[in-house]
Each structure stands twice: as structure tokens, then as C-alpha cells.
Amino acid sequence: MTSPAATAVDRSAPAPSGPSGSAPRLRTSRRRHSSDQPRRSVLLTVLTGLVLLYSLVPLIWLAVSATKTQEGLSRSFGLWFDGDFALWDNIGETFTYDDGVFTRWLLNTLLYVGLGAGGATLLAVLGGYALAKFRFPGRRAVFAVVIGAVAVPGTALAVPTFLMFSEMGLTNTPWAVIIPSLISPFGLYLMWVFATEAIPTELMEAARIDGAGEVRTFFRVALPLLAPGIVTVLLFTMVATWNNYFLPLVMLKDPDWYPLTLGLNSWNAQAATAGGEAVFNLVVTGSLITILPLIAAFLLLQRYWQSGLAAGSVKE
């Protein structure tokens, strides 16, 4: 893991104009607009600005609303602060309300994401690598099945999966969420395509000639080259598991095993329950707390998120 990380750090530094860094690029001709000096387009800038605003406004609303009390939410303008700033109270109450069940939901979610998304990524990497770099009978059939599986929405499988799991007596246990999360056809497909491009076969042959076994070749040669793809799949499956709603909704009945999505929804539903207590301020604050880990994961993993690490590794 050291070498790609090190190069990644080098590469993520903003490139000053002019050639620099360890890999000198050949400039064939000097164009007026290079990647360092892109052509400016007012229209494009405005359009991207609009899209940016469109994506950020809900987030701003969420951050601002998390600072309001239950009454403040309804009496003040959504995108501006209310008189009394209640963010810390809200956060405190989110973690203590209902005997601190929010913490339990958070841990549940981390468990599902850790095992589910981590496992899904591992399986996708192993499978993708094998499908990309080995020739074996039935490969085309696997390809057809994977492509078919990408087209099936997970929601459609939830009910049959429920019936299958309840036959096995696994419903209402964490396994009911983790096991289906391990399967990510899209992740497998992505890894497959990525491995085909990113691992030069010559490199593997070189490793074999040098006497490395298959396992060692995979871990020491292929895996570092696959890092950007792995991070992509990991982020992808992480977001999918973190936000998964329908599967746990069908599988879990016991609030003690809820992930955050279901938990927040049950708090939200209280407002529409006879005798229930409306806790919109906690739903909003809880939602904000729920998305923070995802944002953090993106920011932390972004640096690994680039391809082309294998460039220059083969002398032709």
C-alpha cells in the first residue's frame, strides 16, 4: 500500500504550470488551450454553478435546520437561522432520546457497512480480477449473468429474499441485512473492466517468471494496481449500504437492529402516530449526523481515487 499512496500524494499536489513531477510528459505541440489553461465558457460556468447550487441547497437547509428547536423549525425561514441556536441541545438530545437508541442505530449501520460493503468490495475485487485475467470455461456465461444481475433492481428481490431468509430463520437478525449486501453485481462488473485495463498481462507474466505464486502475484502485483478501482467500488457499496432502506425495512422488525435510515424514519413516523411525540428537530439533526460519515469517507478516500497508476510500468 505504501508505493501507490506515496505517488498519490505526489500527484494530488496541484500541478504548477509547466512540466514537473516525477513523470515528465511529452508535449508534442503547444496548443492555445491546454489542460492548464482551459478555454473559458460563460455558459458552462453558469450551468455548473446552477447544478452546484441545486445540489448544495438541501445540504445547507439541513445544516441550518439542525440548529433549530421544534418550534423554531416551523416559525423561521428554512434557509436562515432562527433566533435560538439549539444545535448542541439537539445533538445531545438526539443521542439521549429514547434511551440513547440513536447510538445503537449508528453502530448497527457501521456494522452493516463494515461487513456488508467491505465484504462486497472484497468479493468484487477477487471476482473481477479472476474474470479479467484468467481464461476458463463458462466465462461468457458468468458475464451474461452479471450483466443481467446489474439490470435487476435490489428492491425487486427484497420480498423473495425475505421469504428465503425466513425459511432459514435469519430474518430479524443482522445477517438478513449483511448477507444480501455482500452481492454487488455492478461492483463486480466495474472491477472486471478496471482490472482488464489496469493490470498489464505482461506484468503478471513477469511476476510468474520471477517465481511468484498466483496468490502472491495477486496481492503484491495486482492489488496495488487495482487500488483506485477498489476505492471506487468501496465508496459505491458503502453509499449503497449506508443508504439502504427497503431491504432492512422488509427484513428487520426489532428497532434494536435498525440501521439509521429506518431509525430516523421511525422517529419521523412518530409525528403521525396517535399519542406519538413529534420530534422533527431530532429527525433533522439525526439526518445531518447520518450523512457526516459519508462525507468524511469521500474526502478521505478521494486521494486514492484516480487511475493510470500502471502507466509506465511496462517497458515496451
Partner 1 sequence: MSKHSRRLLSGIGLVCALALTATACGDSDDGGSSQKPVSQDDVRAALKKGGTITVWAWEPTLEKVATDFEKKYPGVKVNLVNAGTNNDQYTALQNAVSAKKGVPDVAQIEYYAMGQYALTKQLTDLTAFGADKLSAKFSPGPWNGVKAGSDGIWALPMDSGPMALFYNKKVFDKYDIEVPATWAEYLDAARELHKADPKAYITADTGDAGLTTSMLWQAGSRPYTVNGTKVKIDFSDRGAKTYTDTWQKLIDEKLLTSVNPWTDEWYKGLGDGTIATLATGAWMPANLASGVKEAAGDWRAAPLPQWTAGGKASAENGGSALALPELGKNEALAYAFVEYANAGDGVGTRLEGGAFPATTAELQSTAFQDTAFPYFGGQKANKIFAESAANVADDWSYLPYQVYANSVFNDTAGKAYVSGTPLAEGLRSWQEASVKYGEEQGFTVEK
Binding interface with partner 1 (CB under 8 A): 70-71, 73-75, 155, 158-159, 162-163, 166-167, 169, 171-172, 245-246, 249-250, 253-255, 266, 269, 271-278, 280
| Torsion from C-alpha of 216, 222, 228, 229, nearest 10 degrees | -110
Nearest approach, Cβ of residue 114 and partner 1 (Å): 25
Nearest approach, Cβ of residue 73 and partner 1 (Å): 7
Is the Cβ–Cβ distance between 188 and 233 less than 8 Å? no
Nearest approach, Cβ of residue 130 and partner 1 (Å): 35
Give ∠ CA 103-275-69 in degrees, rounded to 5.
Answer: 55
CB atoms closer than 10 angstroms to residue 147: 11
The cell for 166 is: 425466513
Is the Cβ–Cβ distance between 120 and 184 less than 8 Å? yes
From the centroid of its chain, how far is CA 168? 30
Nearest approach, Cβ of residue 23 and partner 1 (Å): 48
Q: Which is nearer to partner 1, 36 or 167 (CB)?
A: 167
Q: Which is nearer to partner 1, 266 or 306 (CB)?
A: 266
Nearest approach, Cβ of residue 64 and partner 1 (Å): 15
Q: Which is nearer to partner 1, 229 or 248 (CB)?
A: 248
Q: In terms of C-beta density within 10 A (0-12 exposed, 13-18 middle, 19 or more buried), how is residue 58 classed?
A: exposed
Counting runs of H as helices and runs of E as strands, what totals does the chain give?
Answer: 15, 0
Nearest approach, Cβ of residue 288 and partner 1 (Å): 16
The cell for 191 is: 472491477
